[in-house]
C-alpha cells in the first residue's frame, strides 16, 4: 500500500443527507436527497482554505487519491490535486462531490423515488448547473464553509464554477474555469442530441425504466460515449495516437472486423463506459450542458451577467480543444474585462484536445499551480 509521495493517499467517500426540499429550475423539487463527497487536506481554523471541485459530464466525487491499495488508478483529477500539485492539499482543504442526478452515490435516477418506492429512472427531474450550485451551497453550509477560497472545474465543471460567482458572489474568492464555454454552440447541442437519441432509441431503454426490467441500454450508451469521445480528442491527438494504423496486417473487407486501431479504441471506450455509467444520468448531464446559458436572463449580455461577481477569475483553454475552443474561453475573458473583473487567462498549446484539462501537461500544471499559490488565505 505504498502510494506516490505526491498523492493524497487513501481517501474515503462520505455522505450527507439533506432533508430540506430543493426547488429546481424545472419547477419540480427534490423533497430530500443525499450527496456523496470526498475531502482532501485539512480545513484551517479560519475556514478560509476550502476549494470546491466541480466535475464534468462523466465525473464524480473521487477526484484524487485511492480507495484501496489495490486501486490501479487514482481519482480522475489526481494530476492536479495533492501535496505539491496545483491544488496543493498542504495549503487547501479540497471538497469534491458527485452531483445530483449522478450515478456514483449521490441521489440520482438509480435512487429510490420516495413518492413511488421505485427507482426514479427517467422520472428523476432534469437538473441544471444552477440547481447543482444551490445543492453545493448547502453542502458548503453543512461543512461549515461560508466562503470558498476557490471553486474549480473543467468543461461542465467550469460552468458550475462560473455559476457560483453569479449565484453566490459573496461566497467565492476565486473562480477557475478551465476548457469551458459561456453556453453551448448549436454544434455542441447537436452532438448531445445524437448521444441522447442513441440512448432514447435503444429498445432496452424502456422509457428510462430499464432498471426495473433488469436490463441496460448498453448499445445506446456505447454509441453516446463513442460520439462524445471523438469530441474530447483533437483530430491531431487521434492522428498521433492511431493514425491509420491497421489492427491486423491485412484488410478484412467486412463490417465487423476492427480494421483500424481507432475503431478498436472507440469500441473499447464505449463498451467500458456502458458497463459503468447510467443512461439516465447521461441524459441529465447532456441536458444540464444544453441548458447552461447564464446570460439568457440578462439580455444575452455576459458582462452584465457577471457584473455582480466578486471573485477573481482564472480561465484556461487548450489550443486543439474543438469542443470548447479557446475562442469560447475568450468570450468569457472579454466579458469579465468589460465587467471590470480581475481575470487571468492562459491558453495552453497542447495537442490533446478537450481532454487536455485532465492531463499532466507541464505548462498547464505550472500556470494552474502559480495561480493557486497566489491565493491569499
Note whether 208 binds its own copies by CB under 8 A: yes
What is the C-alpha to C-alpha distance for residues 86 and 370, in angstroms, rounded to an integer? 7
Note whether 146 binds its own copies by CB under 8 A: no
Q: Which of 29, 116, 201, 373 binds its own copies (CB under 8 A)?
A: 201
On whether 71 is known to bind a ligand per the annotation, the reply is no
**Binding mask of the shown chain, residues 244 to 263, with x at each position contacting its own copies by CB under 8 A:** x------x-xxxx--xx-xx
Q: Which of 16, 137, 194, 338 binds its own copies (CB under 8 A)?
A: 194
> Taking contact as CB under 8 A, which single stretch among the options 266-274, 301-309, 334-342, 361-369 is the one that binds its own copies?
266-274
Residue 150's Cβ-count burial label (10 Å; 0-12, 13-18, 19+) is buried
Cell 455576459 belongs to which residue?
302
For the record, the C-alpha cell of 32 comes out as 430530500
293 part of the active site = no
Q: Of the candidates 7, 111, 112, which has an alpha carbon nearest to the alpha carbon of residue 62?
A: 7
Note whether 226 binds its own copies by CB under 8 A: yes
What is the C-alpha to C-alpha distance for residues 68 and 277, in angstroms, rounded to an integer? 21
What is the C-alpha to C-alpha distance for residues 144 and 202, in angstroms, rounded to an integer? 44
Q: Which of 13, 47, 113, 126 binds its own copies (CB under 8 A)?
A: 126
Residue 16's Cβ-count burial label (10 Å; 0-12, 13-18, 19+) is middle
* DSSP classification of residue 105: S
> Taking contact as CB under 8 A, which single stretch among the options 34-42, 53-61, 104-112, 233-241 is the one that binds its own copies?
233-241
> Taking contact as CB under 8 A, which single stretch among the options 15-23, 24-32, 72-80, 363-371 is the one that binds its own copies?
24-32
Please, what is the minimum distance in Å from the beta carbon of residue 273 to its own copies?
A: 13
For the record, the C-alpha cell of 33 comes out as 436527497
On whether 355 is known to bind a ligand per the annotation, the reply is yes
> Taking contact as CB under 8 A, which single stretch among the options 48-56, 66-74, 164-172, 193-201 is the one that binds its own copies?
193-201
Please, what is the minimum distance in Å from the beta carbon of residue 251 to its own copies?
A: 7
Of residues 318 through 337, those in contact with its own copies by CB under 8 A are 322
9: left (phi over 0), alpha (psi -120 to 50) or beta: left
Task: Point out which residues pair with 40 in neighbouring strands.
Answer: 94
For its own copies, give the closer residue by CB, 84 or 239.
Answer: 239
* Residue ranges with strand state E in the chain: 14-18, 22-23, 29-30, 33-40, 50-54, 81-82, 87-88, 93-97, 112-113, 118-119, 150-154, 174-178, 312-318, 343-348
For its own copies, give the closer residue by CB, 219 or 304.
Answer: 219
Strand 93-97 with 33-40, pairing: antiparallel
155 part of the active site = yes
**Of the listed 155, 234, 274, 317, which one is catalytic?**
155
Handedness of CA 123, 128, 134, 137 (dihedral sign): positive
Please, what is the minimum distance in Å from the beta carbon of residue 175 to its own copies?
A: 23
Angle separating helix axes 186-200 and 218-232, nearest 10 degrees: 160
**Binding mask of the shown chain, residues 53 to 92, with x at each position contacting its own copies by CB under 8 A:** ----------------------------------------
Please, what is the minimum distance in Å from the beta carbon of residue 327 to its own copies?
A: 10
Handedness of CA 69, 70, 74, 75 (dihedral sign): negative
How many residues of this chain bind its own copies (CB under 8 A)? Answer: 56
354 part of the active site = yes
HSE-CB for 228 with a 13 A CA cutoff: 27
**Is residue 320 a contact partner of residue 237, using CB atoms and an 8 Å limit?**
yes
Note whether 184 binds its own copies by CB under 8 A: yes
> Taking contact as CB under 8 A, which single stretch among the options 137-145, 223-231, 307-315, 339-347 is the one that binds its own copies?
223-231
Handedness of CA 168, 170, 172, 177 (dihedral sign): positive
Interaction site with its own copies (CB under 8 A): 25-28, 122, 125-126, 183-187, 189-191, 193-194, 196-198, 200-201, 203, 208, 219, 222-223, 226-227, 230, 233, 235, 238-239, 241-244, 251, 253-256, 259-260, 262-263, 266-267, 270, 283, 287, 290-291, 293, 322
The residues carrying an active-site annotation are 155, 321, 354
Which residues are part of a known binding site for substrate? Answer: 225, 355
Amino acid at each position: 500500500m505504498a502510494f506516490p509521495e505526491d498523492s493524497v493517499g487513501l481517501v474515503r467517500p462520505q455522505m450527507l443527507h439533506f432533508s430540506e426540499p430543493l426547488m429546481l429550475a424545472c419547477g419540480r423539487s427534490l423533497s430530500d436527497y443525499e450527496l456523496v463527497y470526498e475531502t482532501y487536506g485539512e480545513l484551517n481554523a479560519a475556514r478560509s482554505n476550502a476549494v470546491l471541485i466541480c466535475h464534468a459530464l462523466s465525473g464524480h466525487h473521487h477526484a484524487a487519491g485511492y480507495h484501496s491499495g489495490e486501486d490501479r488508478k487514482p481519482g480522475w483529477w489526481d494530476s492536479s490535486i495533492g501535496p505539491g500539485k496545483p491544488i496543493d492539499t498542504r495549503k487547501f482543504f479540497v471538497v469534491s462531490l458527485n452531483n445530483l442526478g449522478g450515478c456514483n452515490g449521490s441521489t440520482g435516477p438509480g435512487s429510490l423515488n420516495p413518492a413511488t418506492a421505485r427507482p426514479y429512472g427517467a422520472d428523476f427531474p432534469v437538473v441544471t448547473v444552477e440547481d447543482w450550485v444551490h445543492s453545493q451551497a448547502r453542502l458548503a453550509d453543512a461543512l461549515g464553509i461560508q466562503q470558498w477560497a476557490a471553486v474549480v472545474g473543467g468543461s461542465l465543471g467550469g460552468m458550475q464554477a462560473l455559476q457560483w460567482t453569479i449565484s453566490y458572489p459573496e461566497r467565492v474568492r476565486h473562480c477557475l474555469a478551465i476548457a469551458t464555454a459561456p453556453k453551448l454552440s448549436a454544434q455542441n447541442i447537436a452532438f448531445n442530441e445524437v448521444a441522447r437519441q442513441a440512448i432514447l432509441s435503444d429498445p432496452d431503454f424502456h422509457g428510462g425504466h430499464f432498471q426495473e426490467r433488469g436490463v441496460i441500454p448498453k448499445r445506446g450508451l456505447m454509441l453516446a460515449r463513442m460520439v462524445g469521445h471523438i469530441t474530447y480528442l483533437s483530430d491531431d491527438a487521434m492522428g498521433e495516437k492511431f493514425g491509420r494504423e491497421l489492427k491486423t496486417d491485412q484488410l478484412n473487407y467486412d463490417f465487423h472486423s476492427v480494421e483500424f486501431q481507432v475503431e478498436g479504441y472507440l469500441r473499447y471506450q464505449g463498451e467500458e463506459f456502458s458497463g459503468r455509467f447510467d443512461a439516465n444520468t447521461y441524459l441529465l448531464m447532456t441536458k444540464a450542458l444544453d441548458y447552461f446559458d447564464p446570460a439568457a436572463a440578462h439580455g444575452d449580455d455576459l458582462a452584465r451577467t457577471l457584473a455582480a461577481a466578486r471573485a477573481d477569475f482564472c480561465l484556461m483553454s487548450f489550443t486543439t480543444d474543438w469542443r470548447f475552443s479557446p475562442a469560447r474561453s475568450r468570450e468569457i475573458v472579454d466579458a469579465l474585462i468589460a465587467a471590470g473583473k480581475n481575470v487571468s487567462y492562459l491558453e495552453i498549446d497542447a495537442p490533446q484536445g478537450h481532454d487536455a484539462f485532465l492531463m499532466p501537461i507541464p505548462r498547464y500544471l505550472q500556470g494552474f499551480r502559480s495561480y493557486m499559490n497566489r491565493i491569499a488565505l
